Structure 1
Amino acid sequence: MIRAAVLAGIGAALPSRSVSNDELAETLDTNDAWIRTRTGIRTRHWTDTGTNTGDLATAAGARALKSAGVDSADLVILATSTGNQPMPGTAPEVATALGLGNVAAYDVSAACSGFLYALSAAAGAIAACVAERVLVIGADVWSTRLNPQDRSTTIIFGDGAGAAVLRAGNGDEPGALLGFDLGSDGIGHELAQVAGGGSRERGSGRPPNPEDAYMTMQGKEMFTHAVNRMAASSEQLLERIGWGAADVDWCAAHQANIRILHTVADVLGVDRSRMLVHLDKAGNTSAASIPLALTDAAKSGQIKAGDRVLMTAFGGGLSWASTAMRWPELDVMEISTDI
């Protein structure tokens, strides 16, 4: 029997600083009602000076390990687009900060799809007997990459981290990842990007443009792609594992925008009430959004052992991914908000 990756623990962390819509309205041409109507976001969390992506990832990872009742892992995979620096990766720092020793650790850069891409890589490592236990973390600090004058991005993105511990097990166990659907389309890479800081800019022969240090996003086009790609990926994954829309108890979709979540639900034929929503409390936390939503729902008792959970994400790249599981019995801690 092929070894399966089984969810054994989950945890999450948010910075202590909460930024309300009213606070943003003090410097941007917007207001609380407009932001909530357009995005569903009431507040988001941003880091203060001195806090980085690795700090949030470490806090979330520690809570996931505690949830799983373990203090070790063979491999750490960190999904992030906002690492502590361009090189080296941030995962080795996180592994050391967690006291995991000289374990393998690396970053995955797949924007908002990163956590599910990292889960897929972890599942492969377990199936190949490379690891018995893997700590997967999604963490991003987008507040450091937002142009404070750009309403289209500043109102949407928050900082945060979410983590999961996967262990080797059997495919028929609760918590086993039942399959994956992954895809990308590089033609749309400019729809959401940070243009500066890479080899394309540095090799262009042109002086750096300070504006290129910030994220830019073409919201209307991203909305359409997000709905189409997450719905199609979810449908392919459900067909592969033998589930129908009626079998889905909860859908943990990337927390980009409440209208995207509702439209994906409508296309899939899943009741909107079955879409987990955490973006109202934290905004779009990129690679952290799905584990944050799962942690919040599991801790509150919304998700219960035995529930069938579909996860799907879409992000820059363009990239998308889906997976599913029957939710296991877990000891889940509150989301940390003291980072």
Structure 2
Amino acid sequence: MRTEALPDQPPAALSGGPEPGLAVGEIRTGLLRNSRTLPHGAVAELLNLLPGEPVRRSERPIAHALSPDVVNGVDCQIATKSGGRMRAVGTILTHAVIVGGRVLQTSSYTTIASHGSQRRLPWSHYTARPGRIETIARAGLADLAAGYLALDQEPGCLDLGSVSERLARRLQSSAVLDGHQPLRFQWTRLRWAARYGLDDDTAEPSAQFELVDDTVRALSLRIPRPPATPSGAVDLGAILELCRDLALHDWVLTTLTRRIERADPGSGDRRRTAAELGPAIDHLLPLWMPGARVADELSAVWEGFERRPGFTRQWEAAVSRVRDQLALHTLQLLANLSSPDTSGEIGSKIEF
């Protein structure tokens, strides 16, 4: 995939008409390289990707900061479900989000116009439409969506994940951060495709979520009646918020589960287990608020995830294990302190 930065082009909100459309993207999620929660001023400085463009912030229900979009030009191939590839030209948008002063998400996305222009047009045509790429030949939306979600794409195909990863690496190396990793984790990748404005019998959105491997996820969305802006355009920001929210909570749940496995509660070493779980309590537990920022029109998607696979049930089970281990560790400490042969340990320092 060949990309070209377009710094002089102001980012614009993506829009769509009443006709069916397709949006695709990829999100990287991980923990900031900072030992403590990043304060508001540092968050704004880190997310200042375009001088003069504001960083959008909110404090309820959890601290959330969104950078302005950066525009990049692309001239690449797009894979299709049938195995073919077609040329596409246009622009993609990339931004970063910091949640709770702890978690970094970088996201690249675009809409795909599949009507086919028959020839490559001048760059001015594409730069006037930020966040939109156009196929040279005509293609079906379902074919393009399925092809994009295939994670074994050949080199040269649309790869939004690499753009997200570059931004994540850049921000993680910023002097704003102290460079200390508070706990071990793996970045996760959520690749998503959303078909919207469909001629469907039901107005309810639906989704298919797949754990491809330890770090890669795929999300396919069908949104017959997408949220709309006051002007009547498709509110792609609401779809992006849903995808980021899912990526965030999947990462938090995955990271906590792996932390519990690393702590090895069955080993009998309560002190070690408590020490391993302490950072998870500080940095992960405050982040769990699924669906809190999702638009009402898309809440049915989260409701479906709560039924199966049951994100909150899995989370509550994991949190209960953490609390049980800390309770057992506390009881062990109290028993040791009350024992006559450990009286010399009363003044010792206890670390969690």
Normalised to the residue count of structure 1, the TM-score between the two structures is: 0.29
Bigger Rg, structure 1 or 2: 2
Normalised to the residue count of structure 2, the TM-score between the two structures is: 0.28
